[in-house]
Amino acid sequence: EVQLLESGGGLVQPGGSLRLSCAASGFTFSTYAMSWVRQAPGKGLEWVSVIIGSGGSTFYADSVKGRFTISRDNSKNTLYLQMNSLRVEDTAIYYCARTLSGYWFDPWGQGTLVTVSS
C-alpha cells in the first residue's frame, strides 16, 4: 500500500524556520516526482513546490520562492521542505503528494499543521 506520512509541523514565530518531512512507503520513491501542497484554514488548495525523482530539478510557487527549499533523500524514501523566514500567511496544513506523470497528485499524506504566530 502506498503511504505518505508527514511530520515536523508546529507553532513558530514570524521570521522563524521549520523543516517538514514526508516518509514514503509502498512504491519506488526515487522514480516519482513529489510535491508539497498547502491549505490555509478554511481555504482552498495551493501548490507549493515540486521536485523530480532524481532531485535534480525543483520548482516553487512565487509565494514561497527564496524562502522554502524542497529536497529529498532517496536512500531514506523521505521528502523534505525547509521553510525559512516564515510569515503569518504561511499558516496552513501542508500535504506531501506523489506527483503522477508529473501532472496530478496521488496519493496525499494526512498533512501536518504549521502555525505561524507571535
Write out the residues near another protein by the rule CB under 8 A.
Answer: 35, 44-47, 50, 59, 61-62, 95, 100-111
Judged by beta carbon, residue 13 or residue 114, the one nearer another protein is: 114
C-beta atoms surrounding 7 within 10 Å:
13
Rounded least distance, CB 33 to another protein, Å: 10
Cell numbers given for 74: 532517496
Residue 108 · residue 3 · CB < 8 Å:
no
CA atoms of 118 and 46, how far apart (whole Å): 24
Rounded least distance, CB 109 to another protein, Å: 6
Judged by beta carbon, residue 98 or residue 116, the one nearer another protein is: 98
Rounded least distance, CB 13 to another protein, Å: 27
Burial classification of residue 67, based on how many CB atoms lie within 10 Å of its CB (0-12 exposed, 13-18 middle, 19 or more buried): middle
Judged by beta carbon, residue 9 or residue 111, the one nearer another protein is: 111
Rounded least distance, CB 67 to another protein, Å: 15
Judged by beta carbon, residue 44 or residue 66, the one nearer another protein is: 44
